[in-house]
């Protein structure tokens, strides 16, 4: 005689279906079956696991409020679930409520003192706020917990570069590249440090490596062009800026720098074309066009006054 499927087995079956759809990146179907699994009784740890998956899926499909409420449901089941506080912190962080984000990140680390990702984002917030001392403290904590975290080394090196401690910056970025030699931001930052150290050729090499790793980061093109502009190699600067614009057509500052190079070469009409594009894309355009000495020739000509208009 055929036996009925037990309720616990039905829950497991729905969980298996959900996980399969999750692996196939079919988020809506995965979410549907995880929610179906919740309709059946099971172990508390399984319920928490299902709720975590639901919260993550809500977040990934853009339903932040539902994700947040799901994390709250986890905490109602287990008030000591560090991952739920971390998930809520991420949502606050993305919404821009940094105070609440810090509160929940710290709650996660209180419950789980080795929660390295929470420390990482704590450091990020302090860095964004300009509290470099605390940012350094917490990036060091991340590295202590996860010695192969190349992003933490990179971010720490970037802070040391900002505060002009170039030897420390060099060591941190070097370690980041040693761990992950293809991370474009570490390669870019090594270019910045080499420039500070006076190693211009090395700086360009690292900026180039950064571009080879990821061509969608416009600042590498910008910094190479700045080196060429300092050397009055305007054609070389235009070449790298053009390459950057092809890969990053919305980077207004690349058009602006290319316009400055064209002005220095006497190509005013070409410069105007780039300045018109820059005006639409570059938030600092108005300030730069009014104060940059490279643009004096344009500011003095009423023909181009439209560039100064709002």
Query: Domain map of the chain by residue range?
Result: 1-79, 215-310
Residue 46: CB atoms within 10 A of its CB come to 17
Any idea which of 66-80, 213-227, 264-278, 282-296 has the lowest mean pLDDT?
282-296
pLDDT at residue number 4: 44
CATH of domain 215-310: 1.25.40.10
- 208 alpha carbon, distance to own chain's centre: 20
pLDDT at 1: 38
* Average pLDDT of the chain to the nearest whole number: 91
Query: 88-121: b or e for each residue (b if 16 or more CB lie within 10 Å)?
Result: bbbbbbeeeebeebbebbbbbbebbeebbbbbbb
- For 238-279, write each residue's pLDDT tens digit: 999 999 999 999 999 999 999 999 999 999 999 999 999 999
Q: Which residue has the higher pLDDT, 26 or 211?
A: 211
Only one residue has tokens 């399969």, namely: 20
Contact predicate 78/95, CB 8 Å = no
Judged against a pLDDT cut of 80, whether residue 302 lies above it is answered with no
Q: Which of 145-154, 269-278, 286-295 has maximum average pLDDT?
A: 145-154
Class of domain 1-79: mainly alpha
Q: Which helix (H) or strand (E) is 90 found in, with range?
A: helix 82-95
pLDDT at 298: 81
Structure tokens at 200: 């211009």
pLDDT the model gives residue 213: 98
């Amino acid at each position: 005689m055929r036996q009925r499927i037990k309720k616990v087995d039905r829950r497991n079956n729905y969980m298996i279906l959900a996980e399969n759809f999750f692996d196939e990146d079919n988020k809506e179907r995965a979410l549907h079956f995880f929610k179906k699994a919740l309709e059946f009784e099971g172990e508390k740890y399984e319920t928490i696991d299902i709720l975590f998956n639901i919260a993550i899926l809500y977040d990934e499909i853009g339903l932040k409020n539902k994700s947040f409420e799901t994390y709250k449901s986890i905490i109602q089941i287990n008030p000591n679930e560090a991952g739920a506080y971390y998930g809520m912190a991420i949502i606050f962080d993305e919404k821009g409520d940094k105070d609440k984000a810090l509160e929940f990140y710290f709650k996660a680390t209180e419950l789980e003192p080795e929660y390295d990702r929470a420390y990482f984002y704590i450091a990020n917030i302090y860095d964004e706020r300009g509290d470099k001392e605390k940012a350094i403290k917490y990036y060091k904590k991340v590295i202590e917990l996860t010695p192969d975290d190349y992003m933490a080394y990179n971010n720490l090196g970037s802070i040391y570069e900002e505060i002009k401690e170039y030897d420390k910056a060099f060591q941190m970025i070097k370690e980041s590249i040693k761990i992950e030699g293809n991370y474009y931001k570490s390669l870019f930052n090594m270019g910045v440090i080499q420039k500070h150290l006076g190693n211009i050729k090395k700086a360009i090499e690292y900026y180039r490596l950064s571009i080879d790793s990821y061509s969608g980061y416009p600042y590498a093109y910008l910094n190479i062009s700045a080196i060429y502009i300092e050397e009055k190699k305007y054609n070389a600067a235009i070449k790298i800026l053009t390459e950057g614009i092809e890969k990053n057509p919305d980077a207004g500052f690349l058009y602006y720098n290319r316009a400055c190079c064209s002005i220095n070469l006497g190509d005013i009409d070409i410069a105007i074309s780039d300045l018109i594009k820059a005006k639409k894309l570059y938030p600092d355009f108005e300030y730069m066009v009014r104060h940059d000495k490279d643009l004096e020739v344009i500011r003095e000509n009423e023909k181009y006054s439209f560039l100064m208009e709002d």
